[in-house]
Amino acid sequence: MFILKLILRNAFRHRLRAFLTITGVAIAITAFGLLHTLVGLWYLGVERSSATRLVTRNAISLTFSLPISYYDRIRQLPGVKSVAYGNWFGGIYIDEKHFFANEAFDLKGLLELYPEFVVPPEQRDALLRDRRGCLVGKKLADKYGWKIGDTITLKGTIFPGQWEFVLRAIYRGAEKSTEERVLFFHWDYLNETLRKTVPRRADQAGFYMIGINRPEQAAEVAGAVDALFSNSLAETRTETEKAFQLGFVAMTEAIMTAIQIVSYVVIVIIMVVAANTMAMTARERIAEYATMKVMGFKWHHIAGTVFGESLFIALLGGVAGVLLTFPAGQWIETELAQFFPAFQISTATILMQLAAALLIGIIAGLFPTWRGATIRIAEGLRRIG
């Protein structure tokens, strides 16, 4: 008990120094947690991918389309439960600053394939009846104050022109991680317009989404789809939704690796700073440690005092850093809402933050502990200051 009291007294003997050290550790731990959460969210689309959904696209590239006639042939394959098709639209609302994902889709098939999109029955019926109707996520609708019946105008980029849609349904995610910032509209509306304006681009789908009965059928069905269209003018590549998402993530893998490295560098930097602070503190107290030995304290008492002080300061900063992570994450979720559906701090991240704080305390306290425990009484009493 005496050693614990001594640790607490020593930790706050120089209040400004202790405050600055704890603040530095807290900021580093907060940054560490946010960066790791950011990397985890980048892979969120992969994690929430369904094992019973496949994606079929042109074998050359996603930028090349597939004939809409493939739809009926895919549906007839064994193991296929449902099929939907769509095109990335890439329209702009107001200006580039207000960009959000928007796609032309077979909406009936979409709602069958994505049960995580929860739509009220009356809105679903109204959506399927209106050719110009669109489906919007709850967070996107809240952001722009859209209500059922509002007209939404997008400026086409891939498909030029001013495109008007009527908001007929707003979906909520079945889980917090479900993306709620997407606009979907009828593929038929896009196709009918293209038939009138650019006939050569009509009757083409950018991709097919395939629902299968069981996850273990994925490889078999994917192979059957690709074999069906082999040696055709538009050969296909079919893969699981997870593999499809990983293809996009792989494009930015170097950036994610860099972010992870930065998070570890932050910890190393604060570790050096904390070690320097503890070394300075130990040097100032050499005479005190020698006096303690004269009074009968053993080396392990002194080691426990010095090491305990280092751990206490580091863990105090670590706990403060964990607590700061939540409001910081909330701010990021609000400010970067168009990029991340939910900025959730996981339990694993919190444990990693506390482990990092513990490591900082251990490394920072090693040399001062060794120095204080091994100091000779005569040498210590000669030190001044």
Q: Which residues pair with 170 in a beta bridge?
A: 136
**Confidence at residue 135, expressed as pLDDT on a 0 to 100 scale:** 97
329, with CB counted inside 10 A (0-12, 13-18, 19+), is buried
Q: Which residues pair with 83 in a beta bridge?
A: 210
Tell me, what DSSP letter sits at residue 376?
-
CA distance 268 to 101: 39
**Confidence at residue 151, expressed as pLDDT on a 0 to 100 scale:** 95
CA distance 27 to 267: 10
pLDDT band at 347 (very low <50, low <70, confident <90, very high): confident
Q: Which of 323, 343, 344, 345 is nearest to 335 (CA)?
A: 343
Model confidence at 46: pLDDT above 60:
no
One-character DSSP codes across 308-354: HHHHHHHHHHHHHHHHHHHHHHHHHHHHTTTT-S-----HHHHHHHH
119, with CB counted inside 10 A (0-12, 13-18, 19+), is middle
One-character DSSP codes across 152-202: EEEEETTTTEEEEEEEEEEEEESSTTS---EEEEEHHHHHHHHHHH-GGGS
pLDDT band at 44 (very low <50, low <70, confident <90, very high): low
| pTM for the whole structure | 0.70
Q: Which of 81, 91, 110, 100 is nearest to 207 (CA)?
A: 110
What is the greatest pairwise CA distance in the chain?
Answer: 98
In the predicted model, what is the mean pLDDT of residues 69-94? 93
Q: Which pair of structure tokens corresponds to residue 94?
A: 């107001």
Span 97-134, pLDDT tens digits: 888 899 999 999 999 999 989 999 999 999 999 999 99
CA distance 99 to 379: 69
Q: Which pair of structure tokens corresponds to residue 131?
A: 């050719």
CA dihedral for 131, 136, 140, 145, sign (positive or negative): positive
In the predicted model, what is the mean pLDDT of residues 263-273? 82
Contact by Cβ (8 Å): 157, 90: yes
Q: Which residue has the tokens 């019973």?
A: 52
**Confidence at residue 248, expressed as pLDDT on a 0 to 100 scale:** 62
CA distance 383 to 27: 35
Span 152-208, pLDDT tens digits: 999 998 999 999 999 999 999 888 778 888 999 999 999 999 999 999 999 999 999
H-state helical runs in the chain: 2-11, 15-42, 44-47, 70-75, 107-113, 121-129, 138-144, 187-197, 218-228, 241-250, 253-284, 286-294, 299-335, 347-374, 377-382
Contact by Cβ (8 Å): 211, 80: yes
